[in-house]
Structure 1
Amino acid sequence: MNLESSLITWIQKKSGKLSSAVKLGIGDDCAVVKFSGDLIFTKDSLVEGTHFKWGYQTLFQLGRKALAVNLSDVAAMGGVPLYALVELGIPKKFSQEKIKEIYRGIFFEAKTQATTIIGGNIVTSACFWISITLIGKSAKHFVTRSGARSHDLIGVAGYLGLATAGLHSIKRGLKGYGVLKKAYQKPCVLVGVGSVLAQKRWVHAMIDVSDGFLKDLNHVCCQSKLGAQIEITNLSIHPQLSLWAKKNNKNVFHALLSGGEDYALLFTFPSKHLKNIHKLLKNNGILFNVLGEITPKKGLFLTQKGKPHPLPKCLGYDHFS
């Protein structure tokens, strides 16, 4: 049995029992799924040298993260994940055991979110990459980036800035900063929260913070044809982030505003739902901050204790820089 065939057989065994809706899973030309209603599709990739470097996380963590970044997109639409298609580009000298360890991470993350791996592809490549297509189901009301309304409040569920500080700590070989490193290596996605916010119709627009708070807020504003004003002193600063900034001579607000890969949820909502949202997130142990307001005037505007504060030169991660 060649490498591809043996891997497919192993993946089939590890994928577990299929739900009754999956008529045909891994092993054929296509998967077949029975479904009615609206489906959500998303696709994201992690490419060696572009999105990660070996040694910054374990193979297991890389597998988990590859699926987690897709799960976060579904969370931002208020959907529920169902199925995933996994494609790997593998260098010729990459061992089968390494591939299996990455898949173990994928299967672990899939299990935490009741997601089934139903197919995929394996190809040889000059560098390693992993690309996942995730299929979810939409709530009765799905949420987009373009639904923000003037005078909506701007809320964030989850901490900001931790992952970028964690990556810096890993790169520099800094001791400690366990919370920061974990945020980069094992991101926590808020699928359940996103789904409830959508089903309750408490939010008008939503996006996950993957490229940086300001960069992703700008996506919402541009697609909603509005602007935003942010009071930066409303940002909660994790104690480890504050310590990291102080000891490494870093601007903590740059990490908070422009750091990526936090996978927090950023959403806009009418003030009448503030108490409900606060209660939901508090009951789930998730940090919640109201950072500002959507404005009819286009553009992003920062204040610090009510006084104008300049925007950073870089709003967040640029995929083509």
Structure 2
Amino acid sequence: MRAKKKEVLNETELIREIEKISLITQKFNKSIIIKSIGDDCAIFRDKNGMLVSTDSITENVHFTLKFYSFYEIGSKSLLVNLSDIAAMGGTPRLFTLSLFIPDYVNEENIKETLYGVVGVAKKYRVSLIGGNISRASEFSISITIIGDYKDDNVIKRGNSKIGDAVFVSGEIGNSWMAYYLQKHGKHIDKNFVNLENFEKKTIENFINKFKLPTPRIKLAKELAVRKLANSLTDISDGLYKDISNILRLSQGVEIWINELPVNENLKHIAELLKIRKCADNIISFGEDYELLWTADDKNEKEVLNLSSRLGIKIKKIGRVVNGINGIKFLKNGVAYPVKDSTFRHL
């Protein structure tokens, strides 16, 4: 449901609200911040290597006001950017925030959005140093995130080697299930099954993982420092697309569908709802923001040991190979055709 139309904050008032966040969060990285909001540019100095990324979330593309609160929108806008720094093995430090505000988003909505942003900034100790505001036809947030890394402890895409094992953190498919339940909610209640057998908390867990993903910063830093990943990315666009991003041109990969870390409740719900091609959706949907990486096969034990140390599931799901083109999915050892239904941004 869209917000009720009210008078939008004027630019001066909105800048004051953003300046408050900047003041609150500067303390996390005061050793590198020279000048924050209040000049034409922010100024900072860092002796380490730098990482920079920009990502945005847009109404009716990445979220709808029917299913998201403004607090959740603000939170997710920063979380997905933190995941980009994690995907390089870095530490997030600073960020800029740009808001694109339609007429139907009011003062209360904007403040709630900013509360979401500052909540995440406090949790992950990142500092707001600048931004921009503009009118728009639909609500959108764009963030530029700046991180750093020490020595050569950074992991790039595209450095996988033939024979590498493929690993993934956490579970995949939860965001797809959340999206499905939200989109087809009334249809499910009327024509399929009553999901009361599943605790409300179970359903809410899927929804929360979709709306508020967890950037795997600690795990990625461990992989970088311990040299336990040859290539690394996060699953934002779906396993199908993101696995191709970490391969070299002459390489292929086998992905073992039976080994994919899928929540048992997801499997049960999909079975009850008679959802066809469940695996295809899990592989293609994306927005899980789990880490996906390749590592020397000899390091498998050390990689898996990180699971118990950090309390994060880690699963070996495939292998980088030579002699095949692209991605080959196997189910019970037999080739399994998967339709690439990855979301396209353009």
TM-score bracket for this pair, using the shorter chain length = over 0.9
Task: Name the structure 2 match of 1:71.
Answer: 82
Give 5+ residue unaligned stretches, structure 2.
1-8, 189-194
SS at match of 1:289: strand
TM-score with structure 1 setting the length: 0.94
Task: Name the structure 2 match of 1:243.
Answer: 268
**Please, what is the CA RMSD of the aligned residues?**
1.6
SS at match of 1:127: coil
Structure 2 matches for 1:104-115, cutoff 5 A? 104-115=115-126
Task: Name the structure 2 match of 1:146.
Answer: 158
Structure 2 matches for 1:204-219, cutoff 5 A? 204-219=230-245
Tell me the amino acid that sits aligned with residue 285 of structure 1.
G
Please give the per-residue CA displacement for 1:99-141, whole angstroms capped at 9, x wherever unaligned: 1111111111111211111110001111111100000002422
> Aligned equivalents of 2:129 and 2:122: distance in 1?
13
Q: Offset of 1:32 from its aligned partner?
A: 0.9
Q: Offset of 1:9 from its aligned partner?
A: 1.3
Tell me the amino acid that sits aligned with residue 14 of structure 1.
I
Tell me the amino acid that sits aligned with residue 160 of structure 1.
I
Residue from 1, 5, 12 that aligns with 2:12 = 5
Task: Name the structure 2 match of 1:155.
Answer: 167
| 2:25/2:128 contact within 8 Å kept | no
Give yes or no for the alignment of 1:261 onto 2:268: no
| 2:254/2:321 contact within 8 Å kept | yes
Give 5+ residue unaligned stretches, structure 1.
none
> Aligned equivalents of 1:315 and 1:290: distance in 2?
24
Give the length in aligned residue pairs: 317
Tell me the amino acid that sits aligned with residue 6 of structure 1.
E
Structure 2 matches for 1:298-313, cutoff 5 A? 298-310=325-337, 312-313=338-339
Please give the per-residue CA displacement for 1:254-275, whole angstroms capped at 9, x wherever unaligned: 2321121000100000122111
> Aligned equivalents of 1:90 and 1:108: distance in 2?
21
Q: Offset of 1:17 from its aligned partner?
A: 5.2
> Aligned equivalents of 1:205 and 1:39: distance in 2?
18
Structure 2 matches for 1:132-143, cutoff 5 A? 132-139=143-150, 140-143=152-155
Give me the identity figure in percent.
30
| 1:63/1:105 contact within 8 Å kept | yes
Hey, which bits of structure 1, 4+ residues long, moved more than 4 A?
A: none
> Aligned equivalents of 1:94 and 1:28: distance in 2?
27
> Aligned equivalents of 1:148 and 1:55: distance in 2?
41
Moved more, 91-100 or 112-121: 91-100
Tell me the amino acid that sits aligned with residue 114 of structure 2.
Y
Q: Offset of 1:246 from its aligned partner?
A: 1.2
Q: Offset of 1:287 from its aligned partner?
A: 1.2
Structure 2 matches for 1:68-107, cutoff 5 A? 68-107=79-118
Please give the per-residue CA displacement for 1:272-297, whole angstroms capped at 9, x wherever unaligned: 21111111122222111101100122
C-alpha distance 56-17 of structure 1, shift in aligned 2 (>3 A): closer
Q: Offset of 1:64 from its aligned partner?
A: 0.9
Moved more, 235-244 or 96-105: 235-244
> Aligned equivalents of 2:61 and 2:313: distance in 1?
30
Task: Name the structure 1 match of 2:317.
Answer: 291
Q: Offset of 1:202 from its aligned partner?
A: 0.8
Moved more, 136-145 or 114-123: 136-145
| 2:168/2:293 contact within 8 Å kept | yes
Structure 2 matches for 1:157-172, cutoff 5 A? 157-172=169-184
